[in-house]
Every structure is written in C-alpha cells, then in structure tokens.
C-alpha cells in the first residue's frame, strides 16, 4: 500500500515532464510533419528535410498532342470514298505465290482484282479485308471483277459439255481471246448464272463489282434492242446487289456513252474505261476517239461519278505523259500492261 501510494505521484510527475517531448516527436513524424518547425534537434531537422524532398512537386511534363484520327471507314459512305480516290490499280491474274499481298502493300485508294484466285476459288473474306486494311487511314476500296457480257471457259460455272452441247445463250468464241465466248446476255439463264457469281463475290467481302463487257451490245447486231437490254441488265445487277448491301458499288468498264441514258444513271457509281489515249501497247488512239470519250467523261463527272482510266504502255516517258494528261482532264489514271497480270506501281 505504501509503494502504491508513493508511485502515483511519481508517475504523474514523470508524465508531466515527458509529455511535451512526446507531443513534439508525434508532430514531427505525423502526416503533416513538413509544416512543423524543426527545433527538436539535428535528427528531426534531417528527417523533415528528407520528407520535404520526397514530397517536392515534380515539374509538369508537356503532354504530347494526340495523333490525328480519321473517322472510321464505316462512318463515310462508300460513294464518298470512291469520289475521294486519287489512285487505283488493276490486276486480274497471276496471283501465285503472293496472292493479295501486293494489294495490301500498295498505296492505292482502290484496287480491282478478280473475284477468285488463279484456280477460280473465291477469295476468303479475311483475305479481302486484310488486303483492304491500311494503317493510319481509311481502308482502300476493293472491287471484284466480273464479266457480265461474255462467258469464260475457266470460270467455276463452266460445264465441260458446253463446247459440244452449248446452252442457247452461249454464242461464238472470241477469236482474240480464246476461252471467252459471246453470250445472249439478255437471256434469263445467263443472267441467273452471273447473279450467282455476284453473290459469291459479295460473300468475299468486296466493296463493289467491276463489270466487264458492258459494251457487248456492239457484238450483237442481230438484236436491235441490244443496248437497251444491256442497260436493263446492269440495272438488274445493281438492284440485286443493293437489296443485300445498299452501298455496294457498281462500276462498269467501257460503254461510257450509256451515261446519256437517264435509266442508266442511278444504277452505276463510277466508270472504268480503257484506252482513252493509248491502245495496247504504246499505240496512240485517234483524236476523234479521245474527243468523244472526254465529252462522255464530262457528263459522268457532272453527275458526281468519278472516271477511272486504264492505259496500256510500258515505256518512258510515255507512262509519265499518260498520267499527267489524264490527271489534267480530271481523271483517275492507271497505266499497266495488256495482260493485267501484275500490279504495276502507279503514280
């Protein structure tokens, strides 16, 4: 009892003497220690100085400007992208071994390739999409080639017995292109054959179709309605495709004069035309042909439909002159070889 009685006053006195120092240490080491005065000795001063260095604000670094981004390809209509195209390329065969890799590696805004590989097998969708993809800009447009005015013996639809027992729509073979046959393109069975090919082309993921032999009405003088039948045929193709994909592009090759027929205008998105200034190979076209074609092109452009031209030449400075002359006329040119079996670099 005596020890207990003596201890309480002693403990109280010790607490009074020690309390200021304990409070100072607590303040010096607390979360706001950098706001306290360091008067409790050198150790505290060093600790406070170290803490200040650790909390010293870091100089703000400049924030890099964000990279400019293009609108997603899907937010711009295909017709707009077609109108904006300034370069294009065209290869119809000889895809082994690179397949569509040259397309993917090119700088073209638009490329036409055959609807199938060298064996006639339709391109896989993933391969067409990979060929269209571009880094840092919108995808290039890809068009699949389809002959609508001639049958070809190397196509998947060809039947082995047709040469000896041809369907009624299959006409004479083209002497300049062995394996290519004139057809009665107005015949419903031929049209059904082509529309099945068009469906397979669309399954591959192409942005549109590039239609050849639209000028086949010149080969069929026996049909007085041949030109009108071709317009009806092209418009049927357009309606068939757009029922499935409203933005699907319909681009005929040649037959530039059909643009003067009002029925034709809404069915097509652009024109591809061969040999405006140069026949294959390296042979100038007649001035009269040039004048007529350029007049037709003016109408196409006035209607908001771009004109893509193909010239066949392999000599300089002829190639450069052809590019310059076409661009001066407001055209989108491409110069290649007659076999169209390589994707020439373009300009």
Q: Rounded to the nearest 5 degrees, what angle is found at the Cα of 51, between the Cα atoms of 50 and 53?
A: 65
The SS3 of residue 181 is strand
- Of 215, 209, 139, 133, the closest CA to residue 182 belongs to 215
Whether 6 shows a pLDDT value over 80: the answer reads no
Sorting pLDDT into bands at 50, 70 and 90, what band is 25? very low
Sorting pLDDT into bands at 50, 70 and 90, what band is 27? very low
Whether 190 shows a pLDDT value over 50: the answer reads yes
pLDDT at residue 79, rounded to an integer: 98
End-to-end, the C-alpha distance of the chain in Å comes to 110
Whether 82 shows a pLDDT value over 70: the answer reads yes
Average pLDDT, the chain: 85
pLDDT at residue 56, rounded to an integer: 35
Percentage of the chain beyond pLDDT 90 is 78
**Model pLDDT for residues 252-280, shown as the tens digit of each residue:** 999 999 999 999 999 999 999 999 999 99
Sorting pLDDT into bands at 50, 70 and 90, what band is 73? low
Give the HSE-up count for residue 336: Cα atoms under 13 Å, Cβ half-sphere.
21
Whether 288 shows a pLDDT value over 90: the answer reads yes
Q: What share of the chain is helix, strand, coil (3-state, %, to 5)?
A: 45, 15, 40
Buried-exposed string 51-75: b where 16+ CB fall within 10 A, e elsewhere: eeeeeeeeeeeeeeeeeeeeeebee
d(CA 265, CA 303): 8
pTM: 0.79
pLDDT at residue 163, rounded to an integer: 87
- Alpha carbon 199 to chain centroid, angstroms: 20
**Model pLDDT for residues 130-151, shown as the tens digit of each residue:** 999 999 999 999 999 999 999 9
Percentage of the chain beyond pLDDT 70 is 79
The SS3 of residue 346 is coil
CB 176 within 8 A of CB 219: no
**Model pLDDT for residues 221-239, shown as the tens digit of each residue:** 999 999 999 999 999 999 9
CB 115 within 8 A of CB 145: yes
In the structure encoding, which two tokens stand for residue 289, read together? 């042909």
Residue matched to tokens 């590989």: 117
In the structure encoding, which two tokens stand for residue 316, read together? 């300089």
Whether 54 shows a pLDDT value over 60: the answer reads no
pLDDT at residue 185, rounded to an integer: 98
**Model pLDDT for residues 93-112, shown as the tens digit of each residue:** 999 999 999 999 999 999 99
pLDDT at residue 12, rounded to an integer: 42
In the structure encoding, which two tokens stand for residue 7, read together? 């201890």
Whether 49 shows a pLDDT value over 70: the answer reads no
d(CA 209, CA 197): 11
pLDDT at residue 74, rounded to an integer: 55
pLDDT at residue 60, rounded to an integer: 40
Angstrom distances, CA of residue 97 to CA of 112, 132, 201: 18, 19, 21
Whether 29 shows a pLDDT value over 90: the answer reads no
Whether 208 shows a pLDDT value over 70: the answer reads yes
C-alpha torsion sign, points 224, 228, 231, 235:
negative
In the structure encoding, which two tokens stand for residue 172, read together? 């004479």
pLDDT at residue 75, rounded to an integer: 74
Domains of the chain in start order, with CATH, are: 2-55 (no CATH), 76-336 (3.20.20.70)
């Amino acid at each position: 009892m005596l020890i207990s009685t003596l201890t309480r006053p002693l403990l109280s006195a010790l607490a009074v003497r020690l309390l200021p120092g304990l409070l100072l240490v607590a303040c010096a080491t607390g979360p706001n220690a950098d706001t306290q005065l360091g008067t409790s000795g050198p150790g505290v001063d060093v600790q406070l100085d170290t803490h200040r260095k650790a909390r010293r604000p870091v100089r703000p670094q400049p924030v890099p400007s964000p990279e400019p981004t293009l609108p997603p390809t899907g937010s711009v209509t295909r017709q707009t992208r077609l109108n904006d195209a300034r370069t294009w390329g065209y290869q119809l065969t000889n895809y082994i071994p690179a397949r569509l890799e040259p397309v993917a590696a090119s700088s073209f805004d638009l490329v036409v390739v055959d609807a199938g590989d060298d064996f006639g097998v339709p391109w896989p969708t993933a391969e067409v999409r990979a060929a269209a993809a571009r880094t840092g800009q919108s995808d290039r447009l890809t068009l699949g080639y389809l002959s609508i005015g001639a049958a070809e013996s190397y196509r998947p639809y060809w039947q082995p017995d047709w040469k000896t027992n041809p369907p009624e729509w299959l006409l004479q073979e083209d002497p300049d292109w062995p394996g290519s046959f004139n057809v009665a393109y107005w015949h419903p069975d031929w049209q059904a054959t082509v529309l099945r090919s068009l469906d397979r082309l669309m399954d591959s993921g192409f942005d549109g179709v590039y239609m050849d032999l639209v000028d086949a009405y010149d080969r069929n003088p026996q049909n007085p309605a041949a030109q009108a039948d071709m317009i009806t045929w092209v418009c049927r193709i357009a309606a068939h495709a757009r029922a499935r994909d409203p933005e699907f592009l319909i681009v005929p090759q040649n037959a530039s004069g059909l643009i003067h027929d009002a029925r034709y205008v809404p069915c097509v998105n652009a024109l591809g035309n061969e040999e405006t200034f140069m026949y294959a190979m390296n042979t100038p076209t007649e001035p009269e042909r040039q004048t007529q074609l350029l007049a037709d092109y003016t109408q196409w452009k006035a209607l908001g439909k771009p004109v893509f031209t193909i010239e066949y030449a392999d000599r300089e400075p002829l190639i450069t002159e052809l590019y310059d002359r076409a661009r001066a006329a407001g055209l989108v040119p491409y110069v290649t070889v007659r076999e169209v079996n390589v994707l020439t670099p373009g300009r």
